[in-house]
Amino acid sequence: MTIRPRDHTHQPPALTPAYRSSQLRAPSHKPLRYAPSRTEATGPTFGHDLIGPTDHDLIINYARPGETAMGERIIVHGVLRDEDARPVPNALIEVWQANAGGRYRHKKDGYLAPLDPNFGGCGRMLTDGEGRFSFRTIRPGPYPWPNGGNDWRPAHIHFSIFGAAFAQRLITQMYFEGDPHIALCPIVQTIPDPGAIDRLTARLDMAHSVPMDIRAYRFDLVLRGRDQTLFENRMEGA
């Protein structure tokens, strides 16, 4: 099994000065390429016994008994595939987010908006045999951040995804259709390709909404392809 080289035209470069934190954290050398070996083509596998019954339900997984988190109730669902459109089954997806007011349950977040006593802000799940995943949560609020000026993050949910190979490991953020902060955000705009930004934007999915209960958003994910044979015994960018 080999891993297809990453197409960097759809990925943010390391140095993106408008996102100020990247200025001292971006390597100045171009990364060196080598042909993926057994190390990169393998990765950890997580069993279903890891996942608790409410791990994927952020509406209740931190709530006091009989209570629920405050905010817009939503389902987020989608399919995890690779670049060859093959579903990635049994893959671990972890998510985290702020509450409805844009406040994170993290000891370093000092934003004025209050914590929700019934909302922790993290969840996890494994994709099924067809690569599908689904979780329930509340729609997170936008929040201000110290980047200089008057910067606000769009409403977003962070995703951490494991594929079958460690080279497929990915962390990203999901945005919501129609949010005017998307175009203004220096973190979103680290991505040079408008199509790649559009694919990070979840779509309202009325067909999967539950009347009088919860709306749905559709968000699909794609990991690097794994089948293309690559014999490249030469460093690039050296």
Partner 1 sequence: MKETASQTAGPYVHIGCVPSVAGLEMYRGQDLGAKMLSPDVTGERITLHGVIHDGSGAPVTDAMIEIWQADAEGRFDNPAFLGWGRQATDAQTGAFRFDTILPGPVTQDDGTRHAPHILMWIVARGINLGLMTRVYFDDGPDPVLDQVPAARRQTLIAQRDGPKLRFDVHLQGAQETVFFDV
Residue with smaller CB distance to partner 1, 25 or 228: 25
Tokens in use for 238? 């050296």
Q: Could you tell me the smallest distance in angstroms from the CB atom of residue 56 to partner 1?
A: 12
Which positions are annotated as active-site residues?
104, 143, 153, 156, 158
Residue with smaller CB distance to partner 1, 5 or 89: 5
Q: Could you tell me the smallest distance in angstroms from the CB atom of residue 52 to partner 1?
A: 7
- C-alpha distance from residue 154 to each of 14, 59, 184, 186 (Å): 21, 21, 9, 10
Is the CB of residue 3 less than 8 Å from the CB of residue 40?
yes
Q: Could you tell me the smallest distance in angstroms from the CB atom of residue 122 to partner 1?
A: 5
- C-alpha distance from residue 105 to each of 1, 12, 113, 120, 142 (Å): 40, 28, 11, 6, 15
Distance CA(80)–CA(89), nearest Å, equals: 8
Residue with smaller CB distance to partner 1, 29 or 212: 29
Distance CA(107)–CA(146), nearest Å, equals: 17
